[in-house]
Amino acid sequence: MMMSKTSTNCAGDRSVILAAVCLAALTLPLSFSGGAVATPAIGRDLGGDPVALNSITNAFMLPFGGLQMASGALADEYGRKRVFTIGVGLLTVVSLALSFAPDVLVLDLLRALQGVAAATMAGGAASLAQEFEGHARTRAYSMLGTTFGIGLAFGPLMAGYLTDTFGWRSIFVATAMTALLALVFGVPRMRESRDPNSAGLDWPGTLTFTGALSLFTFGIIQAPESGWSSPLVSGLLSGAATLLIAFVVIETRIARPMLDLSLFRCSRFVGVQVLPIASCYCYVVLLILLPLRFIGIEGFNEIDAGVLMLALSSPMLVVPALAAWLVRRVSAGIVSGVGLLIAAAGLLMFSRVGLGASSYALVMPMLLIGFGTGLPWGLMDGLSISLVPKERAGMAAGIFNTTRVAGEGIALAIVGAILSALSQAALHGVLPDANEQVSARIMASAARLATGDLGAAAKVLPEISRAALSQGYAQAFQNLLYILIAITILAALAVFCLLGREPAAVAGKDVPGPRFDEHRGRSRLE
């Protein structure tokens, strides 16, 4: 009887831990998608140039992605519960402060601090690896993926409703209240865990990696406004390359690196990293671009745009659980690769839908994209943790989340720059004989179009009618979708090659993989 009671209590504790981690994880897609939906309203209220408005999302994504590995190392060193608690508490305070931001500059700075807080919540995902084994772990991470799906599904709708009803500031109040619930009711019951062999934070690696990521992303964001050949953009990109080289050199020479580069000799590890990168280009960028298109270009109000976004994000409510069931019979690589091909088909269907089309014409391609992406989405976290001993789960979670979140930030910057460049080319087609002065205004107008600000684009370039500007945007958006389709198909092929031969249910098992060699201070592949 005593053993049964103990077992029941342990199961109850695990359920509380899972609930706390999932509730805190819910704030991340709310922070991500809420800022995107609110951007047009923030622009109308506080003003700001295209770079500042783009930074509403990118200022959050940069530290969120750049500090994931450092957060994982800190969680292994000082305790997953402790780091997780600090992150949730800081997110609560900063989100509340965002609701009082007086201008775009302060808003962007607070969004960066909010990204730091979000990054330190990686200890929560690592804690799950200590509590669950086998298929229970698969189900736990599937639940985590489903929670992200709930946030992605209802985040745009909630943000649209709050913006339309109470103003954009209420979005950040809602995020603070959600984080506060996890802090008050869930965190006190979490069990502390850490890596007994942890050797502390790799400060040189952290600083060089974060610096490289920041410089690269700012360079990409600045390029549409300053030009790719400008000294500022060239300096930023050159600095990013220099810091990246320094980071690789540092990580190969220290005993306990933040990023164990020898992991990249394992094809399964590389295959897992492909999954979040692919989801960035077939799904995540659309969470930002589509609200801007629907609200800023096509004239939807925030609530209608949020309802329409449900077609893209609602599959995340159920598909991750379906993926966890499928991998008991089919390898995770096959399930994930097929999902990416389905997403590519949805992108192709969406490319055939022009501006002004009915909502019904948009629903089916968006559902396909969401369904296809949901298959690998529900497996990625569990796969990443399964590749290392659970004592180093913080490192594994940090590496994977860095790939996912930093990839999202980079993808958003790259896709935004591509859309601006494609819009610029389309507008030059309307004014083929533009002089240097008009060309500069075309560049500025295209940058405004890429952020969904049709009104500002028309003021900058009055020579072109609003209808022609909209048509130029539509042409650019279609060409962008073709690029995203190509990236998604190539990623699917890579996943088939790298993960397709794994046995079924690999995501739920502690499979042989990279193991840490304490004597050599390196991971070795079995």
- pLDDT tens per residue, range 21-46: 787 778 877 777 777 778 878 888 88
- Locus of tokens 């991971």: 523
Q: What is the mean pLDDT of residues 366-382?
A: 88
Q: What is the mean pLDDT of residues 483-502?
A: 90
Over the stretch 254-273, which tens digit does the pLDDT of each residue have?
A: 776 767 777 777 778 788 88
Burial of 69 (0-12, 13-18, 19+ CB in 10 A): buried
Structure tokens that stand for 463 in this block: 């020579």
Task: Read off φ and ψ for residue 517, nearest 5 degrees.
Answer: -95, 105
Kind and range of the H or E element at 525?
A: strand 522-525
**pTM to 2 decimal places:** 0.74
Over the stretch 86-144, which tens digit does the pLDDT of each residue have?
A: 888 899 999 999 999 888 889 989 998 998 888 877 666 666 766 676 677 767 777 77
Q: What is the mean pLDDT of residues 431-454?
A: 84
Confidence check: pLDDT of 301 > 70:
yes
pLDDT of residue 483: 97
CA 151/CA 464 separation, integer angstroms: 39
pLDDT of residue 265: 75
Q: What is the mean pLDDT of residues 160-168?
A: 85
Q: Write down the mean pLDDT value for the chain.
A: 79
User: Which among 262, 217, 218, 216 is positioned nearest to 238, based on CA atoms?
Assistant: 216
Confidence check: pLDDT of 464 > 50:
yes
Over the stretch 401-410, which tens digit does the pLDDT of each residue have?
A: 777 777 877 8
Q: In CATH, which superfamily holds the domain spanning 2-202+256-507?
A: MFS general substrate transporter like domains (1.20.1250.20)
pLDDT of residue 526: 36
Maximal CA-CA distance, the chain:
87
Q: What is the mean pLDDT of residues 346-350?
A: 97
Higher per-residue confidence, 364 vs 219: 364
CA 295/CA 297 separation, integer angstroms: 6
Over the stretch 319-338, which tens digit does the pLDDT of each residue have?
A: 888 888 888 888 888 999 99
pLDDT of residue 518: 37
pLDDT of residue 517: 41
Q: Which of 191-205, 291-305, 506-520 has the highest mean pLDDT?
A: 291-305
Q: Using N-to-C axis directions, what is the helix angle for 285-292 and 134-166, rounded to 10°? A: 20
Q: What percent of the chain has pLDDT over 70?
A: 82
User: Which among 443, 439, 447, 440 is positioned nearest to 417, based on CA atoms?
Assistant: 447
Kind and range of the H or E element at 515?
A: strand 514-517
Confidence check: pLDDT of 395 > 80:
no
pLDDT of residue 343: 97
> For the chain, which residues make up each domain, given as ranges?
2-202+256-507
Residues 6+ apart with CB under 8 A from 184: none
What 3-state DSSP class applies to 167? coil
User: Which among 488, 216, 452 is positioned nearest to 337, based on CA atoms?
Assistant: 488
- Locus of tokens 């000799």: 265
Confidence check: pLDDT of 283 > 50:
yes
Residues 6+ apart with CB under 8 A from 449: 297, 420, 423, 457, 469, 472, 473, 476
Q: Are 41 and 199 in contact (CB under 8 A)?
A: no
Q: What is the mean pLDDT of residues 43-54?
A: 77
CA 166/CA 160 separation, integer angstroms: 10
CA 137/CA 490 separation, integer angstroms: 30
User: Which among 386, 476, 390, 389 is positioned nearest to 428, based on CA atoms?
Assistant: 476
306 band by pLDDT with thresholds 50, 70 and 90 = confident
Residues 6+ apart with CB under 8 A from 336: 275, 323, 375, 376, 379, 495, 499
